[in-house]
Structure 1
Amino acid sequence: MWEWLSGLPFWHGMGVTGGWIVTIVLIVVGLAGCVVPVLPGHLFILGAAVWHWFVFRGDSGVEWWTFVVLGALLAGSQIFEWVSGAAGSKWFGGTKWGAAGAMIGALVGMFFMPFGLVLGPLIGAYGFEALFAKQGHREALNSGVGSAVGTLASLVVKLAVGVAMILWFALDLAFIG
Structure 2
Amino acid sequence: MEIIGWIVAIMMFIVAFVGLVYPIIPSVLFIVAGFLLYGWIVSFEEMNWLFWIIQILFVILLFGADTLANVVGVKRFGGSKAGMWGSTIGLLIGPFVIPVAGILLGPFIGAVLAELLITRSDLKQSLKSGIGSLVGFFTSVAAKGAIMLLMIAIFVFFVVV
Give the TM-score category using the shorter length.
0.7 to 0.9
- In the TM superposition, what are the counterparts of 1:89-108 in structure 2 within 5 Å? 89-108=74-93
**CA distance in 1 between partners of 2:4 and 2:119 (Å):** 57
* RMSD of Structure 2 on Structure 1 (CA): 2.4
C-alpha change, 1:131 and 1:33, in structure 2 (3 Å) is closer
Conserved? CA contact 1:97–1:125, under 8 Å = yes
Say if 2:74 is the partner of 1:77.
no
Bigger CA drift: 97-106 or 139-148? 97-106
Say if 2:19 is the partner of 1:30.
no
CA deviation map 1:114-154 (0-9, x unaligned): 32222122111111111121211111110111011101111
**CA distance in 2 between partners of 1:127 and 1:33 (Å):** 25
Identity of aligned residues (%): 31
Structure 1, unaligned runs of 5 or more: 1-14
Say if 2:140 is the partner of 1:136.
no
**CA distance in 2 between partners of 1:25 and 1:99 (Å):** 33
Structure 2, unaligned runs of 5 or more: none
Deviation at 1:76, TM superposition (A): 2.7
Bigger CA drift: 101-110 or 45-54? 101-110
Conserved? CA contact 2:24–2:92, under 8 Å = no
Which of residues 12, 26, 29 is equivalent to 1:43?
A: 29
**CA distance in 1 between partners of 2:92 and 2:69 (Å):** 12
Which of residues 103, 108, 130 is equivalent to 1:117?
A: 103
C-alpha change, 1:115 and 1:85, in structure 2 (3 Å) is farther
**CA distance in 2 between partners of 1:97 and 1:25 (Å):** 37
Conserved? CA contact 1:83–1:103, under 8 Å = no
Conserved? CA contact 2:21–2:103, under 8 Å = no
C-alpha change, 1:115 and 1:67, in structure 2 (3 Å) is farther
Say if 2:121 is the partner of 1:126.
no
Q: Return the letter of the residue paired with 1:168.
A: I
**CA distance in 1 between partners of 2:55 and 2:75 (Å):** 30
Say if 2:146 is the partner of 1:160.
yes
Conserved? CA contact 2:89–2:110, under 8 Å = yes
**CA distance in 2 between partners of 1:131 and 1:29 (Å):** 36
CA deviation map 1:37-82 (0-9, x unaligned): 5544332221121122222336x41113323322332343234324
Who wins on radius of gyration, i.e. which is larger?
1
After TM superposition, the score normalised by the length of structure 1 is 0.75
